[in-house]
Amino acid sequence: MAASTTAPPSTETFWTDAERHLVRYGGEFTREIIDRAAGSFLFTADGRKILDFTSGQMSAILGHSHPAIVATVQRQVATLDHLYSGMLSRPVVDLARRLADTLPAPLEKALLLTTGAESNEAAIRMAKLVTGRHEIVSFARSWHGMTQAAASATYSAGRKGYGPAAPGNFAIPVPNVYRPDFTAADGSLDWRRQLDFAFDLIDAQSTGSLAACLVEPILSSGGIIEPPAGYFAALRDKCRERGMLLILDEAQTGLCRTGTWYAFERDGVVPDILTLSKTLGAGLPLAAVVTSAEIEQEAYERGFLFFTTHVADPLVAAVGNTVLDVLTGDRLDERARSLGAFLRQGLSDIAGRHEVVGDIRGRGLLAGLELVVDRETKQSSDELGARITRRCLQLGLHMNIVQLPGMGGVFRIAPPLTATEDELELGLTILDEAIGNACAVL
């Protein structure tokens, strides 16, 4: 059959069709038609080149169209792409084994799924079944997904207007060092007192059915907030005292993003259940739940059920194996540490030139820059963040800003682990200019 010679619809027709036929699922669409992507860059239909400082949806850790990923997809889709959910293939078993090899004991049993919400849904379901309880504790600025149990454990957005959440979901305050709520004599965050207070409230509200605590090692949608050293060990102890399982959601922090294979390594705390997504598929829909043989056995004996259409699909499992190949072969954990230090210094230099930069935080190639209109009061401005974001895009840089009540606009900066210093320097230069332009009209 001859290839179609029909010209693509005009830009005006494209946006007319989009507005007429697409369901809007959160915020406004970026007014660019993306034609292709390669490495650290997006290319628009009208010829613009945009540096991608979010790795797509915080997922494309190997950049766009990485040659090894392209080759794997082409090879695998031509041989074995999808199976009945009860059938197994070599890529699936290989990926489960290799994931276990990257993790500390006793994490060795994996369930391969598609999205972060799905992996959190499965982890919560498993925790409830194994403990025989139903109550779930999460951070007050959490994001774990938009399916029922995951959405019920999500507090940063999307709760109003949908009726009752799953029963037994509780929020605890975020240990935000930059904006402390419980303070020591020197004004610093007294996170131990905050954590004690949080669980006093949890205990007061619980019906005695606490099943699990589901948290991110670094809150991303919550504004790149990293709890202080020692926090997760204390949180684990709170869970142990109550017979709860600790579930860590490393959708954005796992697989070398923070400079180590997993963010929880810093704290020396091993979760009972680990959820992975985003970075595992490097932009393709692949997620995992990893737990111990003991928990998996208990879940199995109690009839754990999580059949999905694309559970254990060979195509994306093959991609996951290639992601592990590249991460290991190119030592991208080391690269994330060195590039992260370069990025952090560049952001600090920007902070030195612009008073609206209130805080720089994060780890490795997951960085946050919080904007304020007054460093002393830490007063925020939604308009300032939106203005800088728009100007960055005009100048050729895609940025994502988190704007939640009670904090300033926080840029989430997560370039691919394959980015070069020159590309990071370009992004920093554009961001510097965009902040200067926005501040000039304040």
Which residue in the block uniquely carries the two structure tokens 């990257």? 102
Instruction: Tell me which DSSP letter residue 209 carries.
Output: -
Residue type, 308: T
The catalytically annotated residue of 216, 250, 313, 359 is 216
Q: Determine whether 186 is an active site residue.
A: no
Which residue in the block uniquely carries the two structure tokens 């205990």? 203
Backbone phi, psi, residue 211, to 5°: -100, -45
The catalytically annotated residue of 143, 190, 267, 337 is 143
Give how far Cα 172 sits from Cα of 154, 281, 407, Å.
Answer: 12, 31, 17
The catalytically annotated residue of 118, 249, 313, 359 is 249
> Measured between alpha carbons, how far is 286 from 301 in angstroms, rounded to an integer?
26
Of 381, 396, 360, 397, residue with least CA distance to 441: 381
The catalytically annotated residue of 242, 257, 278, 387 is 278
The catalytically annotated residue of 76, 194, 252, 403 is 252
Q: Determine whether 143 is an active site residue.
A: yes
Q: Determine whether 238 is an active site residue.
A: no
> Measured between alpha carbons, how far is 66 from 176 in angstroms, rounded to an integer?
36
> Measured between alpha carbons, how far is 343 from 393 in angstroms, rounded to an integer?
19
Please enumerate in sequence order all residues whose Cβ is within 8 A of that of 422, keeping only pairs 6 or more positions apart, or say none. Answer: none
List beta partners, residue 171.
138
Q: Determine whether 94 is an active site residue.
A: no
Q: Determine whether 297 is an active site residue.
A: no
DSSP letters, 35-88, are EEEEBTEEEETTS-EEEETTHHHHT-TT-BT-HHHHHHHHHHHTT-----TT--
Q: Determine whether 278 is an active site residue.
A: yes
Torsion sign over Cα 84, 88, 90, 95: positive
> Measured between alpha carbons, how far is 279 from 226 in angstroms, rounded to an integer?
19
| Catalytic machinery residues | 143, 216, 249, 252, 278, 412
